[in-house]
Amino acid sequence: MPVILLLNKVDLLPKPDLLPLIDKYQAYYPFEEIIPISALKEDGLQNLKDSLVKRMPFAPPYYPPDILTDQPERFFVAELIRERIFRSFYQEVPYSTEVQIEEFKERKKGKDFIAATIVVEKRSQKGILIGKNGETLKKIGSDARREIEKFLKRDVFLELRVKVQEDWRKNEIKLKRLGF
């Protein structure tokens, strides 16, 4: 297997120090290639891409070109709801949430029906997510519904609930039940 050494943050290194650093690493291991980059300044990224692409084996595509993914719509709907939670809260709450799609009914007439449960670890997180008079949850639901409709290209009725499952991230059985 070819091994490539990627040196990041070279923008922080004085130019005269770069070649001795590369020589130092070459003495440790016979890397097939050493690529200096600055990810922050996007310097050297094209060299990295070109190097990786030329090493990739040719293979026929797994899916037809018009197929976006092998994930079901339910997965993306749950992720769009989680995204709205992340955009609404920046601290502990988003990292303690999981979204489960309970129902997903496509209807010939009217809006599709989606019922989702937001699982949190603590009662306090439930209160934060719901907000005073349910305003926070309504905003999350409204924003998520708009994004879901854009993604699905059809109208939906989104129903959100919040449920507490104490320490679900630390419990292997609960994690499996939630799909992890």
Cα separation, 115 vs 157, whole angstroms: 8
Alpha-carbon torsion 9, 15, 20, 23, what sign? Answer: positive
Domain ranges within the chain, ordered by starting residue = 4-55, 73-177
CATH topology of domain 73-177: GMP Synthetase; Chain A, domain 3 (3.30.300)
For residue 38, is pLDDT > 90?
Answer: yes
The position carrying tokens 């039940």 is 177
Residues 175-179: contacts with CB under 8 Å, at least 24 apart: 178/98, 178/100, 178/119
pLDDT tens string 134-169: 999 999 999 999 999 999 999 999 999 999 988 777
Q: How far is CA 170 from CA 72, 85, 167, in A?
A: 27, 21, 6
For residue 124, is pLDDT > 80?
Answer: yes
Mean pLDDT of the chain: 89
Cα separation, 121 vs 174, whole angstroms: 11
- Predicted pLDDT of residue 158: 96
At 177, the pLDDT band (50, 70, 90 cuts) reads low
pLDDT tens string 83-99: 999 888 876 676 778 89
> What beta strand segments (E) does 81-168 contain?
98-105, 112-120, 156-164
At 64, the pLDDT band (50, 70, 90 cuts) reads confident
